[in-house]
Amino acid sequence: MIQANEAFLKISENFSIDKHEIISTQNALGYKLFDDILAIKNLPAFDNSALDGYAVKFDEQKNGYVLKDSIFAGEKKELSINGNECVKIMTGAPFPKGADSVIRLEDAIQKDGKIYANSNFKKGDAHRFLGEETKVGEILITKNTTLTPIHIMYLAAQGITHVKVYKKPKIAIFSSGDELKEPWEWADELEIYNANAYGVASLLSHYGFSSDYLGIIKDDLDATINSFKQIDGYDVVFCSGGASKGEADYMKTALVSLGYTEIFSRINIRPGGPCKAFTKDNKLIFILPGNPMAAYLCAFLFALPVLLGKEHDKVVAKAMQEIKLKQGRANVVLGSVNFTQNECEFHITDNNNFGSGMIKPLIKSNALYLSDATQDGIKKDSVIKVIRFS
């Protein structure tokens, strides 16, 4: 058995996502960069105007400006001004030589055939300088960054059409148990529907990972062995059920017989203790608990960070209730974070009374607190760090 805070490191020591590929920038959302990307173009690429107005020399405003010419974005003509001259300029158009500021079009005062600035005008207004945002050769985006829509925009602004990224792992999902029925099948009062596979698949999809569902494994050793013989080509495999110590749990026996090494057999946490992980030839297998809440939380807390390459970010919050916890294990405390004007509040769901087979408490929550094994409770108004999951 390992402690909850050791699981990420233990798995990372035995499994890594090291395959890479070159893909189109427009399809790279959610992928993690394999290398640093360097800027190949200055941003802006030339001095230009940030708004529509009149390009002038600030120190010459006393006697007004005489309109000399105009320039629009996309025009490549080179203009210059002297003394009290100005050029009508549109957003993104090249800056005339000699100008250092732009009078906003709606703020310009026209009098006696000249252009004047109002009292709000400041030197340097709307003047965007070549390379002020990014210069050629600078690191544009660092390696291991997960690409967001803003990163895609940034790459497109450089004319970068393809990037080298970590290849997303190919993932398979099983469920196990003679009592399971698929949602489209009829289930009698002693049978239950297979919720776990759908929950885990949706969780993975929410974070940008696709998966293949391979069906339900019956409670039979040969059936279990045969199922795990069919996972060639997959990097990560999830199976819910068969993680506890019941007589019909064949997972460890089957996987060890196929040459897999156990990373851990149990996590010291509630809920989710009966969670196992195995590895072989850089293939990772998670045996999740059969209870829905436990399966979902183990996938979220321990498997997802490995796929993302980092542990979950935490939010500093104030506990709005007091609650007692059992020492000797990590405890998941479900709740909701609310952001007020001054702070982030963590409201505990249903006084943290739930069973690992439930789903509804997860729906009522958007965050969780994971206690230390030595902790016997949370005091009201104490400052804690919580993980958001929705």
Could you identify the residue written with the tokens 């698949």? 201
Strands 276-280 and 261-264: antiparallel
B/e letters for 250-286, b = 16+ CB within 10 Å, e = fewer, are bbbebbeeeebeebbbebbbbbbbbbbbbbeeebbbb
CA dihedral 31, 175, 371, 347 (to 10 degrees): 80
CA distances from 375 to 25, 133, 273, 329 (A): 46, 48, 17, 8
CATH superfamily of 4-17+169-308: MoaB/Mog-like domain (3.40.980.10)
What is the chain's Cα-based Rg?
Answer: 30
In CATH, what is the architecture of 20-43+135-166?
Alpha-Beta Complex (3.90)
What pLDDT sits at residue 260? 97
Q: What pLDDT was estimated at residue 250?
A: 85
Determine the straight-line distance between the first and last CA of the chain, rounded to whole angstroms. 29
Residue for token digits 């149990």? 266
Q: What is the pLDDT of residues 121-171, one digit of tens each?
A: 999 999 999 999 999 999 999 999 999 999 999 999 999 999 999 999 999
Query: With 80 as the cut, is the pLDDT of residue 361 above it?
Result: yes
Instruction: Tell me the pLDDT of the chain averaged across its residues.
Output: 95
- Tokens standing for 373? 């094994």
Say if residue 376's pLDDT is above 60. yes
Checking if the pLDDT of 245 tops 70, the result is: no
* CA dist list (Å): 389 to 100, 203, 312, 365: 49, 10, 9, 9
Identity of the residue numbered 40: I
Say what the pLDDT of residue 390 is.
87
Tell me the CATH architecture of domain 314-388.
Answer: Beta Barrel (2.40)
Q: Is the peptide bond before 96 cis (omega within 30 degrees of 0)?
A: no
Q: What is the mean pLDDT of residues 312-334?
A: 97
Distance CA 169, CA 233 (A): 10
* Element (DSSP H or E) covering residue 193: strand 192-193
Q: Where are the alpha helices (DSSP H) in the chain?
A: 7-14, 149-157, 196-206, 221-228, 251-257, 292-298, 304-308, 360-363
Question: Is residue 375 pLDDT above 80, yes or no?
Answer: yes
| Element containing residue 251 per DSSP (H, E) | helix 251-257
**Which part of the chain is CATH 3.90.105.10?**
20-43+135-166
DSSP 8-state assignment for residue 6: G
- pLDDT single digits (tens) 248-306: 578 999 999 999 999 999 999 999 999 999 999 999 999 999 999 999 999 999 999 99
Residue ranges, CATH 3.40.980.10, the chain: 4-17+169-308
- Nearest partner of 343 among 389, 370, 381, judged by Cα: 381
Write down the pLDDT at residue 248.
56
- Give the pLDDT of residue 243: 64
Q: What is the pLDDT of residue 246?
A: 61
Mean pLDDT confidence for 299-326: 96
Provide CATH 2.170.190.11 ranges for the chain: 48-128
pLDDT band at 37 (very low <50, low <70, confident <90, very high): very high
Cβ contact 216:174 at 8 Å: yes
Q: Are 314 and 367 in contact (CB under 8 A)?
A: no
48-128 under CATH 2.170.190.11, yes or no: yes
Question: In this structure, what token pair is assigned to residue 334?
Answer: 């479900």
Q: How far apart are CA 227 and CA 230, in angstroms?
A: 6
Percent of the chain whose predicted confidence (pLDDT) is above 90: 94
Q: What percent of the chain has pLDDT over 70?
A: 98
CA 172 to CA 167: how far, in whole Å?
16
Q: What pLDDT, on a 0 to 100 scale, did the predictor assign at position 44?
A: 97
